[in-house]
Amino acid sequence: MSVVLEVKDIHKSYWRKTALSDVSFTIERGKVIGLLGSNGSGKTTLMKLIAGLTHPTSGSIKVGGATVGHDTKRIVSYMPDIPLTEGWMKVKDAVSFYRDFYADFDHAKAHEMISFMRLNEQDRVSSLSKGMQERLQLTLALSRNASLYLLDEPIGGVDPVARGKILDALVEYYNPESSIILTTHLLTDIERIFDEVIMLKQGKLILQEDVETIRMKRGKSVDELFKEVYAEC
């Protein structure tokens, strides 16, 4: 498999605070990666760096072999932990906005996902429940034909029914030629779809490991390992 993401010796500081320190890893195409860590470990900062929304203090990041910049934004789809849509929009307006903004937006796929997610195109974004909001944001992010999808807490704060629907959509609409990196604290619900996990602690990478290796060699679930590693956080 070819490498879709290469992170090398990344350091990121904000004034006197270090958010990331000497972080290096690679991700191959066709992988679903869980980016894990306690609050403040650097997960969102790392995602923003990969998405090209901020710049590292030192080190380099390449997506599809190209250094992160204007060109890589065309092949990276980022779903932040806050909605990018406006409350006044209807669901159909949000889809139109993405279609106009992103040349790689797959309108047919978006409509198929809207049906799958049981969203109503006439509903206003402001009227949607938290779970329906998450379904919409995921629909918009996955409807781009990207090489790398960055999903920051896609099931955070939603009820179990909504979580199940969102996970089903990830499995159903995931392009095996691309890769997904997602953050979550709800590992019991989501670890079944992970191929690998990356763990950050206090801005440092402490583990990148295949999920099956964790289960077979360590004799633990990802959730159990997470609780052990971050017990003091």
Is the confidence at residue 5, as pLDDT, over 70? yes
Summarize the chain as % helix, strand, coil (round to 5): 35, 30, 35
162-183 b/e (C-beta count within 10 Å ≥ 16 → b): bbebbbebbeebbeeebbbbbb
Domains, the chain: 3-229 (3.40.50.300)
Distance CA 151, CA 78 (A): 6
For residues 3-22, give the mean pLDDT: 94
Residue pLDDT, tens place only, 139-187: 999 999 999 999 998 887 677 877 888 888 888 888 888 999 999 888 8
pTM value > 0.85: yes
Distance CA 152, CA 211 (A): 20
Residue pLDDT, tens place only, 188-209: 878 889 999 999 999 999 999 9
CB atoms within 10 A of CB 121: 13
Q: Which two three-digit tokens encode residue 129? A: 């429940």
Q: Give the DSSP H or E segment for 19.
A: strand 17-28
Predicted local confidence at residue 4, as pLDDT: 96
**Of 172, 165, 166, nearest in space to 138 by CA:** 166
Residue pLDDT, tens place only, 101-132: 899 999 999 999 999 999 999 999 999 988 88
pLDDT band at 55 (very low <50, low <70, confident <90, very high): very high
Is the confidence at residue 233, as pLDDT, over 70? no
